[in-house]
Structure 1
Amino acid sequence: MDAGWLPSLGLAAAVAVGAGTQRITGLGFALVSAPFLVLLLGPFAGVLVVNVLGVAASVLVLVQVRRDVELRRALLLSAPALVAVVPGAWVARHTAPAVLQVLVGGCVVVALLAVHAVGRRTGTGAPSGTGTTPALLAGAASGFMNATAGVGGPALTVYAVATRWPQRAFAATAQLCFTVIGSATVAAKGLPSLPVADWAVAAAALGVGLMAGTALSARVSPTTARTAALSLALAGGVATVVDGVLGG
């Protein structure tokens, strides 16, 4: 039985679920899709495809939530990220594929654990780290991780949780940050080489995921969607690390 369609199905599923999560919660496209696309396409190409599609997803969501964007915070986060993209792209280009795959999966797992830890620590009490320095550090971490592993969202999430940034404003502002950071990453690394048919599948899945996310955003709470997305991302991250350790 011919199973040649399975990689395309996997590509579509990863992109659609990631896009839906992005629309509902404001982030999650890269977290959900990156580990699985790395398994399907390899660490460098997989992350680069995530970068390209992530920009498209962020732009499409940004159009819908643009009124809630906080430009000052977007600038504070994006400026250092643009600088950090350069060394991140260098690491991605000069790291052995198996090592890079472990790095991608490891970044996903560590980032998820960091988000969880910060969320527990700041569950009560006053906001922490609301000055300029935390924003600059979060932006730099986001830019570096986006270029190397395709997952720039967790660094911004840690900052948002620590500073008690309202979800609505954070979700909107993050789209602008992801657009800027992702565009810089693609410019630094170049466009990925992918068959036209796969690009068509990815584009269709992206559209379906965003439409489904828009329809579900009024019915599914961001907390529920975020929990499901983070669980899926954790499973994908662990699988990516294991596959990389075993030599792909």
Structure 2
Amino acid sequence: MDYFVLTVASLILFAATFFSTVTGFGFALIAAPVLTMVMGPKETVVFVIIAGVIVRVIMMWRTWGEFEWPTVLITAAGSLLGIIPGAYLLKVADANHLKILLGIALLLVTLLMELNFVPEVKNKKLGRVSAGFLSGFFSATTSISGPPIALYFLSENMEKNLLRANMIWIFAIGSFCTLGSFFVAGTFQGGNLIALSLYVLPAVLLGWWLGEKMFFRINQHLFKRIALLVVLIGGVMTLGSGINGVLH
């Protein structure tokens, strides 16, 4: 076991678990960019998914009974629909250009929400399906799935407990489907990565414990600010990754 990789993985998964426990999203958004610096791209994807499943199982247990089944199912269905055109577009378009587009969009929407310029959504079912569609689309093209749904739910002014629980269950369904697809396709080769996930489990549990404490100490306003901060960080990192890919 490479102790440097273990140390970096433990620190970044602690941070990713902490923020995703507080907000309900952002695990891969925070973990993946840093981990790609010490692991291969494919190993990073598999490792983040394995660790993400562990984190979400813990959070699903914690939020049982707090989420809305109709909201979770309709948003998750929209996400699955968005994966299809996203996977096709990835074959014909440059992923780095899509990352730049997503990064700019996230920064603009975050700025508008910070200025309280949010249009009222009258048809919430359509809004949730659309948010799920964009989440699945960008998940397939850039691996970034959380911000579209998070921004939409924030625009609904959904109460923080409900918002977090809904997102935890939506992204858990996505994680399980992704992991299952690896097994079906025969591309899952995660023996060492499973072992690494077990080594970093203490850091994950500590991040979850502190995140839970933080979540119940913050009010609705601070929750929204933290969620927007995570989206902002994701937008900057996604934009930077796309620009770096184009230049190199």
TM-score range, shorter chain: 0.7 to 0.9
Q: Could you tell me how far apart the structure 1 residues matched to 2:161 and 2:139 are? A: 22
Query: Gapped runs of 5+ residues in structure 1?
Result: none
Aligned residue in 2 for 1:240: 241
Which amino acid counterpart does residue 245 of structure 1 have in structure 2?
Answer: V
Residue 68 of structure 1: how far off its partner (Å):
1.0
TM (normalized to structure 1)?
A: 0.76
Q: Does 1:217 align with 2:212?
A: yes
For the residue of structure 1 that corresponds to 2:65, the secondary structure is: helix
Alignment of 1:21-170 (within 5 A): 21-89=19-87, 94=91, 99-100=94-95, 102=96, 106=100, 109-110=103-104, 112-120=106-114, 123=116, 127-170=120-163
| Percent identity for Structure 1 against Structure 2 | 20
Alignment of 1:157-236 (within 5 A): 157-188=150-181, 190=185, 191-194=187-190, 196=192, 198-219=193-214, 221=218, 222-223=223-224, 225-226=226-227, 229-230=230-231, 232-234=233-235, 236=237
Structure 1 residues 88 and 126: alpha-carbon distance in aligned structure 2, compared to 1, 3 A threshold: closer
Query: Gapped runs of 5+ residues in structure 2?
Result: none
Aligned residue in 2 for 1:14: 12
For the residue of structure 1 that corresponds to 2:121, the secondary structure is: coil
The answer to whether the Cα contact below 8 Å between 2:11 and 2:203 also exists between their aligned partners in 1 is: no
Which amino acid counterpart does residue 212 of structure 1 have in structure 2?
Answer: G
Number of aligned pairs? Answer: 238
Structure 1 residues 232 and 164: alpha-carbon distance in aligned structure 2, compared to 1, 3 A threshold: closer
TM (normalized to structure 2)?
A: 0.76
Q: Could you tell me how far apart the structure 1 residues matched to 2:169 and 2:226 are? A: 21
The answer to whether the Cα contact below 8 Å between 2:49 and 2:179 also exists between their aligned partners in 1 is: yes
Q: Could you tell me how far apart the structure 1 residues matched to 2:92 and 2:43 are? A: 13
Which amino acid counterpart does residue 166 of structure 1 have in structure 2?
Answer: E
Residue 65 of structure 1: how far off its partner (Å):
1.1
Structure 1 residues 132 and 227: alpha-carbon distance in aligned structure 2, compared to 1, 3 A threshold: closer
CA distances 1:158-212 after superposition (whole Å, capped 9, x unpaired): 210222221210100111111112222334455554561x433334435523433
The answer to whether the Cα contact below 8 Å between 2:12 and 2:34 also exists between their aligned partners in 1 is: yes
Q: Could you tell me how far apart the structure 1 residues matched to 2:47 and 2:87 are? A: 14
The answer to whether the Cα contact below 8 Å between 2:97 and 2:246 also exists between their aligned partners in 1 is: no
Q: Structure 1: which 4+ aligned runs deviate by more than 6 Å?
A: none
Structure 1 residues 243 and 9: alpha-carbon distance in aligned structure 2, compared to 1, 3 A threshold: farther
Residue 39 of structure 1: how far off its partner (Å):
4.0
Q: Could you tell me how far apart the structure 2 residues matched to 1:58 and 1:103 are? A: 30
The answer to whether the Cα contact below 8 Å between 1:20 and 1:213 also exists between their aligned partners in 2 is: yes
The answer to whether the Cα contact below 8 Å between 1:82 and 1:184 also exists between their aligned partners in 2 is: no
Residue 26 of structure 1: how far off its partner (Å):
1.2
Which amino acid counterpart does residue 240 of structure 1 have in structure 2?
Answer: S
The answer to whether the Cα contact below 8 Å between 2:106 and 2:231 also exists between their aligned partners in 1 is: yes
The answer to whether the Cα contact below 8 Å between 1:118 and 1:158 also exists between their aligned partners in 2 is: no
Q: Could you tell me how far apart the structure 1 residues matched to 2:42 and 2:98 are? A: 10
